[in-house]
Amino acid sequence: MVAMPSARSSWARTTGLIYLLYFLTAIAAQVLLSKGFTVPGNATNFISIVLYLVVGILLYRLFRPSSRNLSLITALFNFAGSAVMLMALFRGGNAPVDPLLFFGTYCFLIGVLILRSELLPRALGYLISAAGVGWFVFLAPWRIRSLSVSMEVLGFVGEAALMLWLLVRGVNEQRWVEQLASMIQDMVRITITPEWVGLLDFQTRFPSALPL
């Protein structure tokens, strides 16, 4: 019998809590920067980026039983976007590419994972996938200002909804255990219990091996 973790919803709620801390620090960073507090604003922004990286790792662990490869790819997009954010932070706001290119893909793939895993409501999967597409619309050169604001709101609402659901409701633990069991079904545990143990007596059994 395979032992399964019994506190997966607690793990999901921990993810939701760190997600919440990310939101709070990201908002605080923007407020500090808008008030002209550059150093504390950048420091708080650094903390928020690190928290978002942690969220990416935790979500990878959460969705890995449903799709190991897709979960890994999704986490890599989180890491790439966060790396670009860190580069911009240490280079005075100059980034080689827009991090939303990575974060948009990340959000879309998180939505796909939600739909495939059925650990969370399907409506949540559609919402955050739409938020990911919205970030690409936001980056389009032909975007309209009112549409851009709508896409920003959609992105915020999508991730906030995911954060709140993880924090308050957790995940479908039974479904998670089923997926984990399917992932490790080829793994077996072999136990060997000897019925006797012989003590080697080198003087009587192997006299020729001993020096005279």
Domain ranges across the chain = 8-183
pTM, whole model, 2 decimals? 0.77
Helix axes 100-117, 38-63, angle to 10 degrees: 30
Single-letter amino acid, residue 113: L
Q: How far apart are CA 66 and CA 52, in angstroms?
A: 22
How many other C-beta atoms are found inside a 10 Å radius of the C-beta of residue 91? 10
Rg of the chain (C-alpha set): 25
Per-residue pLDDT of the chain (212 residues; tens, 9 = 90+): 443 444 456 778 899 999 999 999 999 999 999 998 999 999 999 999 999 999 999 999 889 888 889 999 999 999 999 999 999 888 876 778 889 999 999 999 999 999 998 888 999 999 999 999 988 888 877 766 667 788 888 889 999 999 999 998 888 767 666 666 666 654 545 555 555 555 555 555 555 554 55
